[in-house]
Structure 1
Amino acid sequence: MQKIMKKIVINIFIAGTVMFSASCKKFLDQDSLTKLDESKVYSDVGLVQTSLKGVYANWLNNRVDEQGTVLMMGTDEMQQGAYQMKSDPGKGGLDRYDGNLNSLQGQVATQWNLRWPLVNEAAKIINGIDKPTLTAGSQEAGIVGEASFIRGFIDFELAMYWGEIPIRDISRESTLGFKRQPLKDVWAFIISDLTKAAAFCPATNDAGRATSGAALAMLGKAYMSAPVSTGLRDFDKARDCFEKMMGKYTLVPYKDLWDYSKPNTAEAILEFQYSPVSPNNNKVQFQIGSRAVQNTFGDGCYYSGYDKIVPTIHAYETVANGGVWEDGDLRRDESIRYDFTYYGVTPTLDIISWEGLGADFDELKPHVKKYEDFRTDTHSGLGFNNMYNSGKDMPVLRLGDIKLCYAECLNELNRTGDAIVVVNQVRARAWGGTLPTDKMWTAMSQDQFRTNIMDERIRELFAESWRRIDLIRTGKFVDLVKANNKWAKQSGTIQAFNTLYPIPDSELKLNSEITPDDQNPGYK
Structure 2
Amino acid sequence: MIRTIKFAVVAGCIILSASCSKFLDEPSVTKLDQDQVFSDPELIETSLKGIYSNWKAVRTDEQGLIMMMGTDETQQGAFQMKSDPSKGGLDRFDGNLNSTQNHITNQWNIRWPIVTEAAKIVRGMSATTVTPGSREAKLLGEASFIRGFVDFQLAMYWGEIPIADPARADQLGSGRQPLKDVWTFIIEDLQRAADNCPKTNDPGRATSGAAWAMLGKAYMSAPVATGLRDFQKAATCFEKMMGDYTLVPYQDLWDYNKPNTKEAILEFQFSNVYPNNNKIQFQIGSRAVQAIGGDGCYYSGYDKIVPTQYAYSTVENGGVWEAGDLRKDQAIRYDFTYYGQVPTLDPILWEDLGNDYDELLPHVKKYEDFRTDKHTDNKINNMWNSGKNIPVLRLGDIKLCYAECLNELNRVGAAVNVVNEVRTRAWGGTLPADKAWVAMSQDAFRTAIMDERIRELFAEDWRRIDLIRTGKYVELVKARNKWAKQNGSIQQFNTLFPIPDTEIKQNPDINPEDQNPGYH
| Structures share fold, TM-score greater than 0.5 | yes
Q: 1:294 aligns with which of 290, 293, 300?
A: 290
Instruction: State the partner residue of 2:403.
Output: 407
- Whether 2:184 is the aligned partner of 1:188: answer yes
1:398-420 deviation per Cα after TM superposition (whole angstroms, max 9, x unaligned): 00000000000000000000000
Instruction: State the partner residue of 2:173.
Output: 177
**8 A Cα contact 2:325 2:427, kept in partner:** yes
Find the aligned partners of 1:21 and 1:330 in 2 and give their Cα distance. 50
Q: How far does residue 23 in structure 1 lie from its aligned partner after superposition?
A: 10
Instruction: State the partner residue of 2:251.
Output: 255
* Cα 1:448–1:31 shift into 2, 3 Å: closer
Q: 1:389 aligns with which of 385, 389, 392?
A: 385
Question: Which SS does the other structure have where 1:397 is aligned?
Answer: strand
Question: Which SS does the other structure have where 1:370 is aligned?
Answer: coil
Find the aligned partners of 1:346 and 1:324 in 2 and give their Cα distance. 27
Find the aligned partners of 2:32 and 2:67 in 1 and give their Cα distance. 27
Q: How far does residue 88 in structure 1 lie from its aligned partner after superposition?
A: 0.7
Q: How does 1:57-456 map to 2 (within 5 A)?
A: 57-131=53-127, 133-456=129-452
Find the aligned partners of 2:70 and 2:33 in 1 and give their Cα distance. 37
Q: How far does residue 437 in structure 1 lie from its aligned partner after superposition?
A: 0.2
Instruction: State the partner residue of 2:498.
Output: 502
Q: How far does residue 196 in structure 1 lie from its aligned partner after superposition?
A: 0.2
Find the aligned partners of 1:519 and 1:205 in 2 and give their Cα distance. 40
- In angstroms, what is the RMSD of aligned CA positions? 1.3
Instruction: State the partner residue of 1:512.
Output: 508
Aligned residues: 499
- State the one-letter code of the partner of 1:247: G
**8 A Cα contact 2:29 2:503, kept in partner:** no
* Cα 1:230–1:25 shift into 2, 3 Å: farther
Find the aligned partners of 2:430 and 2:185 in 1 and give their Cα distance. 43
Find the aligned partners of 2:377 and 2:100 in 1 and give their Cα distance. 45
Q: How far does residue 135 in structure 1 lie from its aligned partner after superposition?
A: 2.4
Question: Which SS does the other structure have where 1:63 is aligned?
Answer: coil
Find the aligned partners of 2:297 and 2:194 in 1 and give their Cα distance. 43
Q: How far does residue 490 in structure 1 lie from its aligned partner after superposition?
A: 0.2
1:339-396 deviation per Cα after TM superposition (whole angstroms, max 9, x unaligned): 0001111100001110111110000000000000000000111011000100000000
Instruction: State the partner residue of 1:26.
Output: 28
Q: How far does residue 124 in structure 1 lie from its aligned partner after superposition?
A: 0.5
**8 A Cα contact 2:86 2:96, kept in partner:** yes
Find the aligned partners of 1:415 and 1:63 in 2 and give their Cα distance. 36
User: Gaps spanning 5+ residues in structure 1: where?
Assistant: 1-19
Q: How far does residue 320 in structure 1 lie from its aligned partner after superposition?
A: 0.4
**8 A Cα contact 1:376 1:385, kept in partner:** yes
Instruction: State the partner residue of 1:468.
Output: 464
Q: TM-score, normalised to structure 2's length?
A: 0.94
Q: How far does residue 255 in structure 1 lie from its aligned partner after superposition?
A: 0.1
**8 A Cα contact 1:130 1:140, kept in partner:** no
Q: How far does residue 309 in structure 1 lie from its aligned partner after superposition?
A: 0.4
Instruction: State the partner residue of 2:18.
Output: none
**8 A Cα contact 1:74 1:481, kept in partner:** yes
* Cα 1:238–1:22 shift into 2, 3 Å: farther
Find the aligned partners of 2:513 and 2:477 in 1 and give their Cα distance. 28
Q: How far does residue 22 in structure 1 lie from its aligned partner after superposition?
A: 8.5
Q: How far does residue 30 in structure 1 lie from its aligned partner after superposition?
A: 5.8
Question: Which SS does the other structure have where 1:410 is aligned?
Answer: helix
1:49-89 deviation per Cα after TM superposition (whole angstroms, max 9, x unaligned): 10011100111110011100000000000000000000011
**8 A Cα contact 1:145 1:198, kept in partner:** yes
Question: Which SS does the other structure have where 1:360 is aligned?
Answer: coil
Find the aligned partners of 1:76 and 1:486 in 2 and give their Cα distance. 9
Instruction: State the partner residue of 1:480.
Output: 476
* Cα 1:457–1:507 shift into 2, 3 Å: same
**8 A Cα contact 2:284 2:363, kept in partner:** yes
Find the aligned partners of 2:490 and 2:282 in 1 and give their Cα distance. 28
Q: How far does residue 512 in structure 1 lie from its aligned partner after superposition?
A: 1.1
Find the aligned partners of 1:303 and 1:321 in 2 and give their Cα distance. 26
Q: How far does residue 295 in structure 1 lie from its aligned partner after superposition?
A: 1.2
**8 A Cα contact 1:23 1:507, kept in partner:** no
Find the aligned partners of 1:154 and 1:292 in 2 and give their Cα distance. 36
